[in-house]
Amino acid sequence: MPEENQQNKTDVIVVGAGPAGVSAAVTVARGGKKVVLVERGNFAGSKNMYGGVIYSHAAAEIFSNYKEASIERFVSNHSYVLLSETDSTTISYKSPSHNENAFVITRANWDRWCVEQAVKEGVYYAPNTLVRELIIKDGKVIGIRTDIEEYYADIVIIADGVNSLLARQIGLRKDLRPKDVFLGVKEVIKLSPEVIEQRFGLGNGGGCAMELVGGPLKNLFAMGIIYTNKDSVAVGLGVALEDLKNRKIKPYELLEAMKKHSFVADIIEGGELAEYSAHLIPEGGYNRLPQLYTDGAIVCGDAAMLVNNVHFEGTNFAMISGKFAGETALEAFEKSDFTKNQLCLYRKKLENSFILKDLRTYKDVVKTITNRANSIGYYTQKVNEFFEIFTTADGIEKKGKFKKFAKHFFMKRSLAELFKDGFAGIKVMFDILK
Ligand SMILES: Cc1cc2nc3c(=O)[nH]c(=O)nc-3n(C[C@H](O)[C@H](O)[C@H](O)COP(=O)(O)OP(=O)(O)OC[C@H]3O[C@@H](n4cnc5c(N)ncnc54)[C@H](O)[C@@H]3O)c2cc1C
């Protein structure tokens, strides 16, 4: 049975210096408690990758001076691109009042900057420290074990990301199955700022976030992403791991196919590959929430599978759940109660916030989309065929073309399939609005 060494004892230990962990740690420090933030990487962000967008509301809630970080570009244009085999149709949203909703920044810069701020506010930061396991005494989490030593705390906040060996060790989460996660793959391609601004139609250092469906991703539960940095473009995709496994598709081949599509090829033409990375993304979802706390421990961020994949929101869920975990720890100190009876407050905070409200809203949506994923490519193809007719002036009368289009629309897909797709669309709307 482990004996607590008082020299190695602090109030709170946070494992993982990603967006969830740093937010938890700085919240605890602001409340006047001693907190150690443990990170396995040699600097925060060194082990982390993502698409590229941080949401300003969450950044500002944790660090009001977030604009001092090395932001690449604020997202001024948001585009959705429907791909067919060769063509593309783009829907773009732009508004002067929307300019500061989100920004693109590299994780190496963002995570490191956040940790620097947290250290200034009293967080003790321990990089290069891999937590091997949690220390348990009488069924309660009382500390962490690293390769070198044991450290003790009244509360351990688990923010070790999607794989979360620690949440699994204490039975809060089950082992990951392919259907629980998406695989994200991404390349960073160097281009000059002038070329980026010209190709994306950006002015004044603005940025673009794009989501792509269909084309090479057709029939898969998958979405492409393109984000603009200052002098590079991130091109990637997220795809259900189960789809990759069942259909024996290699993720980098899918990304290559996406890069060869004329829409993407034109954007990255002449660019130089700077970086390739891959990472799992929790599929998330209200129905898959793990147990979020136990005696002496709270789980947040990806470790708790808190992601809204429909909107590509993960970092804001991580930061705000980390903040709630920190607040819950502070309240536990006020009551001197570190049992789950007290730590259940964490779940209530999540329930009362956009985090579990949004996950509940989308709780059946992901399943409906997954079941009809093989229809997405059909409709993106048809949208492009429609716009081809609509925009072509070739001396041939339009009515005949529209009749042919309508006939093909119904002939190429059985009435039963069309009905199921329509029903799925209505169900998605109903599920969101109910
Ligand atoms: C391809 C891709 C694109 C994405 N795009 C976006 C996007 O554009 N916007 C968005 O909001 N979200 C996006 N996400 C999701 C987002 O990246 C995550 O939701 C977010 O990073 C979760 O933060 P976290 O702190 O919970 O976990 P992480 O960021 O994974 O941090 C966990 C930290 O714990 C450390 N760690 C792990 N195990 C240990 C251990 N045993 N001991 C010590 N340290 C440990 C790791 O090194 C890491 O620093 C994307 C994800 C992927 C994969």
Looking at the CA of residue 129, tell me the nearest atom of ligand 1: 43
Query: pTM (2 decimals)?
Result: 0.94
- Our answer on whether the CB atom of 131 is closer than 6 Å to any ligand 1 atom is yes
Q: Report the pLDDT averaged over residues 91-111.
A: 91
Instruction: Please write the tens of the pLDDT for every residue from 304-321.
Output: 999 998 888 999 999 999
Instruction: Please write the tens of the pLDDT for every residue from 185-237.
Output: 999 999 999 999 999 999 877 999 999 999 998 888 889 999 999 999 999 99
CB 351 within 8 Å of CB 53: no
106 CA distance to ligand 1 middle (Å): 12
205 CA distance to ligand 1 middle (Å): 27
Burial label for 388, CB within 10 Å (0-12, 13-18, 19+), is middle
Residue bearing tokens 């967006």: 19
CA distances from 418 to 49, 131, 269 (A): 38, 52, 38
Looking at the CA of residue 16, tell me the nearest atom of ligand 1: 34
Residues in the chain: 434
Write out the two tokens for 307: 């992601």
427 CA distance to ligand 1 middle (Å): 32
Check whether 337 has a pLDDT greater than 50: yes
Q: 179-282 is classed in which CATH architecture?
A: 2-Layer Sandwich (3.30)
Atom 35, ligand 1: residue with shortest CA distance: 16
Q: pLDDT category, 428, cuts 50, 70, 90?
A: confident
| CATH fold for the domain made of 6-70+105-174+290-352 | FAD/NAD(P)-binding domain (3.50.50)
CA distances from 335 to 30, 37, 156, 328, 331 (A): 18, 23, 17, 11, 6
- Our answer on whether the CB atom of 340 is closer than 6 Å to any ligand 1 atom is no
CB 104 within 8 Å of CB 72: yes
Give the number of other Cβ atoms within 10 Å of residue 418's Cβ. 15
Please report, for the chain, the start and end positions of each structural domain, with discontinuous segments joined by +.
Answer: 6-70+105-174+290-352, 179-282, 366-433
Determine the Cα–Cα distance for residues 80 and 268; give it in Å rounded to an integer: 17
Instruction: Please write the tens of the pLDDT for every residue from 256-265.
Output: 999 999 999 9
Task: List the single range of 92-101, 215-224, 306-315, 415-424 with lowest mean pLDDT.
Answer: 415-424
Q: pLDDT category, 1, cuts 50, 70, 90?
A: very low
281 CA distance to ligand 1 middle (Å): 8
Decide whether 6-70+105-174+290-352 matches 179-282 in CATH topology.
no
